[in-house]
Structures are given as C-alpha cells and as structure tokens.
Amino acid sequence: MSVPSRSRSLSEISRKIVKGSRIVEQTLTRLAANGRPLSVLEVGFGWGRALTELAWMFRDEPIDFHGVDIDCRPPVERSEDLRQIARRFGTVPEASLASFRVPQLHFYDASRLHFDDESLDLIYSAVAIRFFERKAEFIEEACRVLRPGGVALLQLGEKNWDYPYGPVGEPPTLTPYRARLLLRHRDYLVPVPEYFRLFQEDRFRFTFTPNKRRCSLLIEKLTPGRLCLNLAFNADLSGPIADIPSWTEDDGGADDGYRSVYDIRREISHGNMEDALAAHSTNR
C-alpha cells in the first residue's frame, strides 16, 4: 500500500467503513459509557496514526489498545515507534508524549488472531481486509475474540461488490462484479448478505452497510459462542484481483486486493440453499 493509505487519520478510517460517519469513535464512546475496562483492536493499522488518535482521545478511560498488521517495516516496527507517529501528526502534545500509554502492536497474519476467546470489545478495520486471502476465517476469528456486547466494524471491499443471485460464470472471471468475497453453492453465486442472514440468530447480529460504493460488515455479539460459516476455501478460483480479466469497464473499482472464493458446504444445517435460490428465481 502507498504511504498515504498507511497513514490515514481516524476520521478517514471511520469514513472508509461507513461513508460520512465517525463510527469508530461513536461506537467506542457507547461501549465505554458503562465504565468497565475495555480492549480495542485495529486490524491493518499501517503507521498507527488512527490507532494512536483513538488511544489519545480515550486516554482517561480504562481501555487497552492493540494493533495487528502483517508488515513490520519503517517507520513503525515496535509499539514505541508510535510516539514518533504521534509527534509527526501532532496527535499528542509534546509535553504528554513521554507519559502517553502507546497501543501494543503485533505483527502477523490476522486470519488467525492471537487473542483469547471473548477478550476484545471493539475490532475495526478499513482497507486491509480486501487484501486477505482467507476472509471468511478472519470473520470467524473476529466473532470468536469478541466479548458479548462487543462490536466489529469491518470494511470488506470497495464499489461494485453486491453481486446478485445467479449462475456462476466461466472461470477465471466468474462474475463481472468486483467482489473480493464470493460465495458459491454448486453452480450458483450466493450474495454475501443473504448468506449471512442464515446465521442471524440470538448469538450474532450482522449488518451490511446499505451502500453500493463499499462493502462493510458490522457485527454485534449478543451472547457467548463462536461462528462457523460452513465455508470451504476454493484455492483454484481465488486469487489477486489484478490477475482476473474481463471485468466491466465502467465500474471504476480499484484493481487491488484479493478475491476470496468459498464453496458453501452441502451439509449446512441452516436451511436448504437450493430452495432459497429457487424461491428467489421464482419471485424475480
């Protein structure tokens, strides 16, 4: 990613997740209202500018801040480097830099989070997830580590993501939509929001932002437990967006990121997907 993308401000991160919003700050304000200790994680923190802004904003609250990024490279290679980031962007007054409690940084592939079950209250990520190979596994991990009452704010992709029900096209294109997460049931593509509705039970609430310009998933964990999406990663059909030919010419979407294709397992017990597809086809 370019330097500007890795140094996005907190307000830019919020707007990336939900256009025109301050959703990260507002969500944490709501969670912090009861005064209990909280833990927050940014996935794909880049230079850590947004994470540092959030930590300074809530410095008087009992909140631990963490960041996970796969890259360990200058100017941020350890947690202490965030003091210089705070100085560079004027986030923390000079007189407070030495005593500022910097977030704890971790460097690894976030598709397997190194946090205990139900140990985090807020997870947020903008831009980074579209580069992940195993997006479904990451979503399951986010649900695992959230505490009941916790929230995940996850941007999964950019515009032209909301492909409809329909037959799978010829590989490698499969669909003209630039979706970075594709779900396949036999010979049909199943829209991601429709599939997630099958798991909308007492344990989790899933909301996809009603915006065709970006795909963001908001997860609320209501009760203890894990999420199992019953998906099998299809390595043959997955790959970098830039390697997939024959996209529509007028979508204006970015050609970066990774398209993750999953097959819906036939043994899924959350309803008959073929009946759902047939009903959808009949009602069109």
pTM: 0.91
Cis peptide before 75 (omega within 30 of 0): yes
Q: What confidence tens digit (pLDDT) does each residue in 111-130 have?
A: 899 999 999 999 999 989 99
Q: What confidence tens digit (pLDDT) does each residue in 131-166 have?
A: 999 999 999 999 999 999 999 999 998 888 999 999
Residue 273 has a pLDDT of: 58
Above 50 in pLDDT, residue 2?
no
Residue 250 has a pLDDT of: 45
Q: Which three-class secondary structure string do you get for the chain?
A: CCHHHHCCCHHHHHHHHCCCCCHHHHHHHHHHCCCCCEEEEEECCCCCHHHHHHHHHCCCCCEEEEEEECCCECCECCHHHHHHHHHHCCCCCHHHCCCCCCCEEEECCCCCCCCCCCCEEEEEECCHHHHCCCHHHHHHHHHHHEEEEEEEEEEEEECCCCCCCEECCCCCCCCCCCCCEEEEECCEEECHHHHHHCCCCCCEEEEECCCCCEEEEEEEECCCCCCCCCEEECCCCCEEHHHCCCCCCCCCCCCCCEEEEEEECCCCCCCCHHHHHHHHHHHC
Q: In percent, how much of the chain has pLDDT > 70? A: 88
What integer is the mean pLDDT of 213-226? 93
Above 70 in pLDDT, residue 52?
yes
CA distances from 242 to 1, 131, 197, 246 (A): 14, 12, 30, 11
**Residue 16 · residue 8 · CB < 8 Å:** yes
